[in-house]
Amino acid sequence: MTETSTMDTPLKKLVGDKTAKALASHLDLHTAGDLIYHFPRRYDERGEHTDIRSLEVGEQVTVLGQVQRTAVRPMRQRRGNLLEATVGDGSGGTLTLTFFGNQAWRERELRPGRWGLFAGKVTEFRGKRQLNGPEYVLLGDGATDGEAAAQEEIEEFAGALIPVYPAAAAVPTWVIARCVRVVLDTFTAPEDPLPAEVRAGRNLLKLDTALREIHRPSTKEMLGKARRRLKWDEAFAVQLTLVQRKHRAASWPARPRPRAEAGLLAAFDARLPYELTDGQRRVGEEVAADLSTAHPMHRLLQGEVGSGKTVCALRAMLQVVDAGGQAALLAPTEVLAAQHYRGILDLLGPLGRAGELDSADNATRVALVTGSLGAAARRRALEQVVSGDAGIVVGTHALLYEGVDFADLGLVVVDEQHRFGVEQRDALRAKAEQPPHVLVMTATPIPRTVAMTVYGDLEVSTLSQLPRGRSPIASHVVPAAEKPAYLDRAWRRLREEVAAGHQAYVVCPRIGEGPATAEEAGEPGEDGRRAPLAVLEVAPLLAEGPLHGLRIGVLHGKLPADEKDAIMRSFAAGDLDVLVATTVIEVGVDVPNSTVMIVLDADRFGVSQLHQLRGRVGRGSAPGICLLVTEALEGTSARERLDAVASTTDGFRLAELDLEQRREGDVLGATQSGRRSHLRLLSLLRDTDLIRDARAEAIALVEEDPELERHPALATSMAALVDEERAEYLEKG
C-alpha cells in the first residue's frame, strides 16, 4: 500500500483491485482525486427521518432506518420461508425488507431497535413499500458479530452525520465511505488554488480541510463551511474563465461604427409606425454606445417573447450600415430566417430596396442566404454580400460555415441564443478582418445567476416591458383524463376563434412516422407511458373530427425547407386556419392574427418551452388563449408544472422553476450511479450570493493579474473544472 496519495494516484493502489474495478466500472472513479471529489449526496442522522413515504417505486435508494420487528413466514408459491423485517424512519412511514430462504442468523442480526443503512430498489407489494433482499449495514451499539469489516462500519457511522454517496447497486454507499476513509488516511490535497487573501477575506476553509470535512464532517457547522468552500471553487473557476474571456475580448480591436447624424437609422426611426418603448430606447442607447467603441460589442439582449427585440436589432444593424459596414442576422431555422427576411423588408420599406424604382435615397439591400435557395438565386445573393451591396444579410447559422464572404462585416446579430453555442460565436471572428460586434438575442428569460454563469462573458441588456396595447395571454390546463368534456370545449373554443376570423395553433410533441428527432420532446415508451401525440397522426383525426371543415396545415422540422416556408407563408397570409405543428413554431414565428394555441400532451414539454410556445398567440390586439391539454392527474408534479405555467406569465419566475426542476431531475433521476458533472455542489438557483461574490473576486483578480501568471495553482485547477460544464450547460440550455 502507498504511503501517501495525491489526486492522481490510481485507486487500485489504495483500495485493492476488486473494489477499484467496481468503482471504475460502475461509478467512473479511477483516481484518488475522482473519489475525493465524489461528494456525498446527503447526510443522514440517526433518529432523523429520511421520509420513507416519499420513496418512489423503482428508485434505487439508501435508507437509514430502525428495525421495528421481524417475522418469518412460509412462502405461498414456493417451499421455504421468507424473512420480513419492518423498518421505520421516525416519519411514521415503514418499509418492508424481504429475504428469501432460511436465514436464522439474519433474523438474529436484525434485532428490533437496531439502526442500519439499507440499500436496494423500491418495489411495491399490496400497497406497501419494500426492498427485496437489500444490502445493508447495521450501525452502532450492541453489534455482536466480531467481523473486522463490520467493526469498521460501526466506526464509520459512529459520527452523527452519515454520508450517503451517489452509489450503484454493486457499490453501495458504505463501500464508498470505506474507500474514502482509506484514501483520506494517506491523501495529500493539491496546493490550495484559492489565493490566501480571498480565503481570508471570504472566511473560507482551506481546501484540504474542506475535502476532509465534506466526507467526514465533525459537526454540521463544519460541513456547512466545507460545502461553502467547495462551492466557491466551482463558482470561482467558472467566473474566472468568463471574466478572463471577457477581459481578453475587450482588448481586441474592432472598427467603431458610431451613429450617423442623418442616415438610414434616422430615416427608419422617422417612418416607424409605433413609438419605441422605454426599454427599447434604453437598449438602443446601450447598443449604440457599444458599437461606437474600438472594441467589439458582446452583448446579450434578453426580452420576453413579443417584447420587440427585432426592431432593436434592426436599429443596431442600420447604425452599422450607416457607418459603412454590413450586418448579418442569424436565425436558428430556415423558417425563421425567411420570416425575419420578410419582416425586415416590410419594416424598411423603400429603405431596403436600393436599386429598385421606389427606393429611398440612402437605401440599402437585404439579402437572404439559406441552404434552400436555388443556384441562381444563391449566386445573386452571394454577389450582393461580397460586393457590399447588401447592407443586411439574413440567414441561418450555416452562414458561418459556408463559404460566404462579406465585404465588411461589422455586426452579427444572433436570434435565439439558446440554440447557439460558444464555438459558433467564436467562428464568427474568422468572418471579418477585425472581429465584428456581436449581439445575441434570447427570448428565454435567464435567471441572473445563469446569465452570470453561462453568459458571463457578455454584457446583458433586458427588455422587461411589452409594447403597449398587447393583450395578455390567458392560459388554462385542460385535464383530458379527468374531464374529457373540457377537451371538447377546447376544440369548440378554437372553432369560435376561427369563426371570428382568427387563426390557431395545435402543438404536438412528436412528428410521427419514423424515430424521434431532437426536435421532439418526450421519450416514448421508456417508462410505460404511451408515445406522445404526433403531428402526422393528430392532424387527420382533427380534420375528420373536431376541426372538420377548417383549413388545416401541417408544419414540422422534417419537411423540406421550401415546403415549410410555403406553409408558413400561407398561414401568415391567412390561407390556413389552423397550423398543426411541433415546436418548430416555438421560436419567433410571428402571425399576429393567431389567437389560440392548444398544446397536446403539454406535460411532455419543459416549462420554459411552454412559455415560449404560447408567446406565439396574443401578438396582435386580440387577446390570446393557450390551452394546455394533459392526461397528467391532479397532484402529480407534471400537473403542478402546468399549473404554474398557467398561473403566471412571468418568464423569469418560470425560468427559475425550469432550472429548479432540471436540477431536481438530476438529483433524483436515474443518476444514483452519479454521473460526473463539474458543478457538483453549486446550485445556480440557490447560491446566488455566492456566485455574485465569486464574480466580484474574479473581476478583481483578473484586473490585477489577467493571465493568472502569479496564480499558477489557480490556473491549473480552473482549466480542469470549467470547459465541460459550460459546454454541457449550453447544450441543455
Judged by CB under 6 A, the stretch of 90-98, 482-490, 588-596, 597-605 that binds ligand ADP is 588-596
Nearest approach in angstroms of CB 339 to ligand ADP is 9
Judged by CB under 6 A, the stretch of 51-59, 515-523, 587-595, 655-663 that binds ligand ADP is 587-595
Give me the DSSP letters along 95-126.
EEEEEES--HHHHHHS-TT-EEEEEEEEEEET
3-state secondary structure of 476: strand
CA 121 to CA 95: how far, in whole Å?
12
Binders in 98-157 for ligand ADP, by CB under 6 A: none
Phi, psi of 724 (to 5 degrees): -55, -45
467 binds, among Mg ion, ligand ADP, none (CB under 5 to 8 A by kind): ligand ADP
Query: Binding residue for ligand ADP (CB under 6 A) from 82, 184, 266, 276?
Result: 276
CA 601 to CA 534: how far, in whole Å?
10
CA 431 to CA 417: how far, in whole Å?
19
The answer to whether 419 touches 355, Cβ cutoff 8 Å, is no
Nearest approach in angstroms of CB 706 to ligand ADP is 36
Q: Which residues contact 356 (CB under 8 A, 6 or more apart)?
A: none
Told to check if 608 binds ligand ADP by CB under 6 A, we report: no
Closest by CA position to 602, among listed 506, 672, 717: 506
Would you say 384 or 594 has its CB closer to Mg ion?
594
CA 180 to CA 158: how far, in whole Å?
16
119 binds, among Mg ion, ligand ADP, none (CB under 5 to 8 A by kind): none
**Percentages (nearest 5) of helix, strand, coil residues in the chain:** 45, 20, 40
CA 95 to chain centroid, in Å, comes to: 35
Count of positions on this chain that bind ligand ADP (CB under 6 A)? 19
311 binds, among Mg ion, ligand ADP, none (CB under 5 to 8 A by kind): ligand ADP
Distances in Å between the Cα of 650 and the Cα atoms of 303, 464, 602, 611 are 11, 10, 19, 9
3-state secondary structure of 75: coil
Told to check if 568 binds ligand ADP by CB under 6 A, we report: no
CA 55 to CA 667: how far, in whole Å?
14
Give me the DSSP letters along 321-383.
HHTT-EEEEEESSHHHHHHHHHHHHHHHGGGGBTTSTT--TT--EEEEE-TTS-HHHHHHHHH
Nearest approach in angstroms of CB 571 to Mg ion is 17
Would you say 24 or 276 has its CB closer to ligand ADP?
276
Told to check if 586 binds ligand ADP by CB under 6 A, we report: no
Told to check if 472 binds ligand ADP by CB under 6 A, we report: no
Query: Binding residue for ligand ADP (CB under 6 A) from 153, 590, 601, 603?
Result: 590
The answer to whether 216 touches 36, Cβ cutoff 8 Å, is no
277 binds, among ligand ADP, Mg ion, none (CB under 5 to 8 A by kind): ligand ADP
306 binds, among ligand ADP, Mg ion, none (CB under 5 to 8 A by kind): ligand ADP
Nearest approach in angstroms of CB 594 to ligand ADP is 12
Nearest approach in angstroms of CB 467 to ligand ADP is 3
- CB atoms near residue 575 (< 10 Å): 12
Query: Binding residue for ligand ADP (CB under 6 A) from 164, 311, 399, 454?
Result: 311
Nearest approach in angstroms of CB 385 to ligand ADP is 24
Q: Any alpha helices (H) in 624-669, and if so which ranges?
A: 637-647, 651-668
Query: Binding residue for ligand ADP (CB under 6 A) from 241, 307, 384, 595?
Result: 307
| Encoded amino acid at 151, one letter | Q
Told to check if 287 binds ligand ADP by CB under 6 A, we report: no
193 binds, among ligand ADP, Mg ion, none (CB under 5 to 8 A by kind): none
Nearest approach in angstroms of CB 314 to ligand ADP is 9
The answer to whether 577 touches 498, Cβ cutoff 8 Å, is yes
Binders in 441-470 for ligand ADP, by CB under 6 A: 443, 467
Told to check if 303 binds ligand ADP by CB under 6 A, we report: yes
Told to check if 308 binds ligand ADP by CB under 6 A, we report: yes
Would you say 414 or 708 has its CB closer to Mg ion?
414
Nearest approach in angstroms of CB 563 to ligand ADP is 24
Query: Binding residue for ligand ADP (CB under 6 A) from 305, 330, 438, 714?
Result: 305
CA 599 to CA 606: how far, in whole Å?
12
Told to check if 64 binds ligand ADP by CB under 6 A, we report: no
**Which residue's beta carbon is nearest to the bound ligand ADP?**
308
Q: In the complex, which residues of this chain contact ligand ADP (CB under 6 A)? A: 274-277, 280, 303, 305-311, 443, 467, 588, 590, 592, 619
